[in-house]
Structure 1
Amino acid sequence: MEATTFLHSSARPRPRRPLSGCSVIFGSVVFLILFLTLITNQSPGPSASPGGETEASPSARPRGIVEGVSAKSNPCVLDKVWFNWTNAMFYWQRSAYHFQPQMNWMNGPFYHEGWYHLFYQYNPDSAPRGNITWGRAVSSDLIHWFYLPLATIPDQWYDMNGVWTGSATLLPDGRIVMLYTGSAIESVQVQNLAYPANLSDPLLVHWFKYPGNPVIVPPTGIEFNEFRDPTTAWFGPDGLWRIAVGSRCNSTTGMSLVYQTTNFTDYELLDGVLHAVPGTGTHLLQWPVEEVESLRLVIEVGSVEPLDIGTANQLDILAEFGIESSVSNTTDEVGDCGEGAVDISSYGPFGILVIADVSLSEQTPVYFRPLISPDDSLKTYFCADETRSSEASDVLKRVDHSVIKSRIYPTKAIYGGARIFLFNNASGVNVKATLKIWEMDSAFIRPFPFEERL
C-alpha cells in the first residue's frame, strides 16, 4: 500500500495509578510500528537521474499519475507555483516490503497447485480509491511475487459500484469457491459467488461469476450499505458449511451474522448473531505483539533524541514507553490529540518522529498523549501528526486523531535522508523508552513471465 502507515489503536479511559515517586507505565503500552513499512523502499528507481526532474508540458496530467502514485502538482494550473516533484520522490512512495500492484490503489492468499494466490482490492485507473476490482498475484514462497491479469471487474448490476472484499474456500473435492461483496445499485451491498474457470490451471487465471448472483442479500433490519466481507467457510459436524458476514444495525451496533449452506448457492440465516458490540461497526483493532527489550533510553522533558541506526528507510519497530516521574495532580483541559505533537501537557505528548530528515524540517510524529480528566481518571490517546510530513505545499497534511492512515509525501526524508528520533514534549515528566528495531528487505514483485512457461 502506497507509502501509508497503518497503526491501529484506540483511546480508552484507564484507572489512574498512583504517581508519587514511581513510574506510571501505560498498560505496558507497546506498539509494533508496522508503519515503518511506511518507511518504504530503499533505493531510487533504476531509471531515475540524480535529480530525477521531469518536465511536464502544460497539457500533461498532474505529476504522479503516470508514475503509479497519487496526483501531486498539476501543471495545467499556471497561476500557482507547484512543488518540483522528482521521479526519485515518486519512486520512494512505492512500498517495498509489502506486496503492491504495479501502480494505483489497492486494499491473504490460499495455496493451490504449488502457488500461493493473492487477491486484492485494486483500482486499475487511479491511485485514490474507486472502481474497485480484484487484482491478482501468485508466489511460490511468499517473497517472490508475480502479477496476473485481473480476476474480476465490476461489470454486473450486483457489483457495478465495486467488487469488494471476499474470501476463498477450498472444498474437500478440490473445488474452489469465492464469495465477495458487490456494491450494487444505490450502494446496496450483496454477497456474490465466483469460481475458477479451469481448476487444472495452476495459476487460475480465469474466473466466472455465478449466473444466479447475488446469493445473499441484506436481511430485514440490517443497514443495506453496511453488509459485507464474507469469511472463509467452515465445515460443521452436522455436514453444513457456515460463513460469517459483517453488518451493522441502528447505525451504532456492529455485528457478525452467520449463514449456513450445503452448496454455496443457497443460504439460510441462523437465528441470533455470532457477535455484536454497540458503538462499533466501523473500525478493526489490531493488538500489539510482545518482543524482547534491546535498547533503553530516558527522554528528558522537552528533548529530542536521535536514534543512531543509520538511515531509516524500511524498519519494523517495537516500542514501549513509561513515565518515570511524579507530578502534582493537575487537570489538562485540552482533550484528544490536541493540536498535534507540539501541544504540550503535563504528561505528553511523547513518542517517535518517523520519516524525518536530519534537520527535522520534515517529520511525522507518532505519539501518546496521556491526560488527567476532571473526574481524576487517566486517559491515553494514540495519535499521529502529519502537518510537518512534507515541505511540499501542494499535498494534504493534517492531524489524524487515531492512526496514520492518509498518505505522506516527504521530499527530503527519503532514501539515505530518512532518520528516526524519540521525543518528549511533556512539561512535567521524563519518559523511559524501550525499543527493538529490525531492518526489512524488499520483496521481489514482477509481472508473471507467461512467455517463459513451458
Structure 2
Amino acid sequence: MIYKGLYHLFYQYNPNGSVWGNIVWAHSTSKDLINWSHHKPAIYPSQPADKLGCWSGSATILPDGKPAILYTGINPQNQQVQNIAFPKDLSDPYLVEWEKSPSNPLMAPTTSNKINASSFRDPTTAWLGSDGMWRVIIGSKIDRMGMAILYRSKDFLQWEKAEHPLHSAKDTGMWECPDFFPVSTNSDMGLDTSKNGANVKYVFKVSLDDTRKEYYTIGTYDSSKDIYMPAEGSIEYDTGLRYDNGKFYASKTFFDSAKNRRILWGWINESSTVDHDVKKGWSGVQAIPRSILLHKSGKQLVQWPVKEIENLRHGQVDVPNMVLKGGTKVKVSGVTAAQADIDISFQVKNLEKAENFDSNHAHPQDLCIHMVASAKGAIGPFGIMALASENLEEYTSVFFRILKDHNNSHVVLMCSDQSSSSLDKSNDMANYGVILDIDPTKEKLSLRTLIDHSIIESFGGNGLGCITARVYPTKAIEDEAHLYVFNYGEEDVQVSSFSAWNMKKAQIN
C-alpha cells in the first residue's frame, strides 16, 4: 500500500529460520519501490486468534485515509480465522506500531457456515459497493471445488458471510491468495479497487495450492448480485492465463494512488533443495514490482517493470543493428552480466520455413521442454544466453521460436531454458514457456530481461508474456558471468535494436 507518500511492503517472514515456519508479517518501506528500509515485524502472534501464526492477507485504505489490515490467523485449535489490525499512530508515516482488535477473530469457521477450517485464508483488499457495504473475499475449497467466500460489512468490523461465493470453479483445489480488482478498457491508468461501471472489466486471480501455479481470468462483476463471471472460453486452471509462467506465486496487487497505476508484487520461490536453503541462510525473494494494464485486445493483461527500476541503470551498451546468421552466437562486451537490464528486439523476414505444430494438443511448457536452446529449428531458437560461463558449461537461455499452427497462422513461442543453468543438478531446472499473441509478419519481437545473480525475469512482446527463472550457477557468477545473443535456427534473424545497462545495487537498509 501507499500511505503519506511512502510505499509499505508487508510479507510473510520466518524470523527464526530460512525456511517456512513461525510466520509473522515483516515490514519494509520505500519512497520509490526499489530502495527499502526494514522495520520491526508489524504483526506477530499475540492473541488466541493468531497464536499459531499470522498468515497472509491484505491492506485496505478506508475512506478517511486510515489503513486496515485483514489477515489470517491460526488459533489454538489449528483453525484458520480472519483478524484485523490498525496502525497505532496515524501521524507516523512509517506505521511501525500496529494494534489488533480485541474482537478478533472477525470471521471464523463454524458448524453452521460450513467453512473448511483448514482451507480458509488470505483475505483480499476490500472494496466498497454503491450500497455503502464493504466486501472482501477469502480463499477456500469444499472437496475439490475452489471458491472465493464473500463477506460484507458496514463498519469493517462486523462481517457477515454471503449466501454464495463471489466465484467458484470445480476441480481446482484450494484457492490461495485470491485477488480481485478492476481494470480500465479505455485508459492506461490503474483503478481504485472499489471502481466499477462503464469501461471497466474485472480481473480474478488465484494461486493454486495443488500445483503452486497461478492463473487469472478477465470478466465482469455484477455488483447487485455479487457474482463474478469470467469471459466466455476462459480456462480456469493453471493452463489458462498467467501473470508469469515461471517461478512466481502468491502474488498481490495494490492501487498506487500517487501515480494512478496498479502494481503487482510476486514471490519468487526457490529452485534449490531445503538443505541448500538452510545452508545459504535465506530463501524466497520478491520479484521486481510490475505495473499492469489491460491489453488493447481486452483478452489479457500486459506487465512491465515499474519505471523506477531504470534509476539503477548505468553504463549503457548499445549493439548496432546486425544480422544473426543461423547457428551463430555473439558475446556482448561491456555489460556486468550478473546484474543487468537488457532490451532487445528481433525481426525475421522469411517465415516460409516455419515448422508445423498442433496448438490444440501442445502446451507451451511441454514444447519448451523438448525444444531446448540447443535443439536447432527452422526459425529459432533465437534470443539471449544469460548467466553464461566462459565455455558455456552453464547458461540460462531465453528465446523465441516461430512455428505454424494447424490453420497456417504463425505462432510465437517464448521459452526460458534452465536445463543448462547450473552444474549442480540437485536444483529444479525445469523449462518454462508461453505463446505470445503476436503476428510476427507485422510486429518485431521484443525481449526485456532483468538479471540479478540468481534471478532472470523476462518480458516478451512488450509484456504480453512473462517468465521468471530462479537459477544457481556455480561458474557463471560475478565477473565470470557472460551474456550472449544467439540464433540457432536455420533462417537469419535481424537484431533491430539492442541496449543493455549495468545495474547498481538497490539500497536495502
Structure 2-normalised TM-score? 0.54
Partner of 2:68: 177
Cα gap change, 1:378/1:155 in structure 2, threshold over 3 Å: closer, same or farther?
A: farther
For each residue in 1:147-168, what CA deviation from the matched residue of structure 2 results, as whole angstroms up to 9, or x when unmatched?
Answer: 2111223566765675343222
Contact 2:60 2:69 in 1 (8 A): yes
Show the 5 A alignment for 1:33-432. Answer: 109-112=1-4, 115-140=6-31, 142=33, 144-153=35-44, 163-173=54-64, 175-182=66-73, 190-216=81-107, 228-245=121-138, 259-268=151-160, 269=162, 271-276=225-230, 278-280=234-236, 283-285=242-244, 287-289=302-304, 296-328=321-353, 330-331=355-356, 336-339=367-370, 340-373=372-405, 376=408, 378-391=410-423, 393=424, 395-402=426-433, 405=468, 407-428=470-491, 430=493, 432=495
Q: Which amino acid aligns with 1:171?
A: L
Runs of at least 5 residues in structure 2 that lack an aligned partner in the other structure: 167-224, 245-300, 308-317, 434-465
Structure 1-normalised TM-score? 0.60
For each residue in 1:363-396, what CA deviation from the matched residue of structure 2 results, as whole angstroms up to 9, or x when unmatched?
Answer: 11112244345564544433222222223x3641
Partner of 2:206: none
CA RMSD of aligned residues (A): 4.1
Q: Which amino acid aligns with 1:279?
A: I
Cα gap change, 1:342/1:191 in structure 2, threshold over 3 Å: closer, same or farther?
A: farther
Identity level (%): 36
Per-residue deviation at 1:425? 2.1
Measured in 2, the distance between the counterparts of 1:200 and 1:318 equals: 42
Measured in 1, the distance between the counterparts of 2:116 and 2:44 equals: 25
SS at match of 1:305: strand
Cα gap change, 1:239/1:347 in structure 2, threshold over 3 Å: closer, same or farther?
A: same
Contact 1:370 1:380 in 2 (8 A): yes
For each residue in 1:71-102, what CA deviation from the matched residue of structure 2 results, as whole angstroms up to 9, or x when unmatched?
Answer: xxxxxxxxxxxxxxxxxxxxxxxxxxxxxxxx
Q: Which amino acid aligns with 2:339?
A: Q
Measured in 2, the distance between the counterparts of 1:190 and 1:433 equals: 54
Measured in 1, the distance between the counterparts of 2:131 and 2:489 equals: 59
SS at match of 2:82: strand
Partner of 1:57: none
Larger Rg: 1
Runs of at least 5 residues in structure 1 that lack an aligned partner in the other structure: 1-108, 447-454
Measured in 2, the distance between the counterparts of 1:225 and 1:345 equals: 49
Measured in 1, the distance between the counterparts of 2:77 and 2:406 equals: 46
SS at match of 1:341: coil
Per-residue deviation at 1:436? 3.7
Greater Cα shift, 153-162 or 331-340: 153-162
Bigger proportion of residues as strand: 2
Q: How many positions carry a matched residue from both structures?
A: 334
Per-residue deviation at 1:318? 3.0
Instruction: Choose between structure 1 and 2 for higher RCO, CA contacts under 8 A separated by at least 6 residues.
Output: 1
Cα gap change, 1:210/1:373 in structure 2, threshold over 3 Å: closer, same or farther?
A: same
Measured in 1, the distance between the counterparts of 2:320 and 2:53 equals: 46
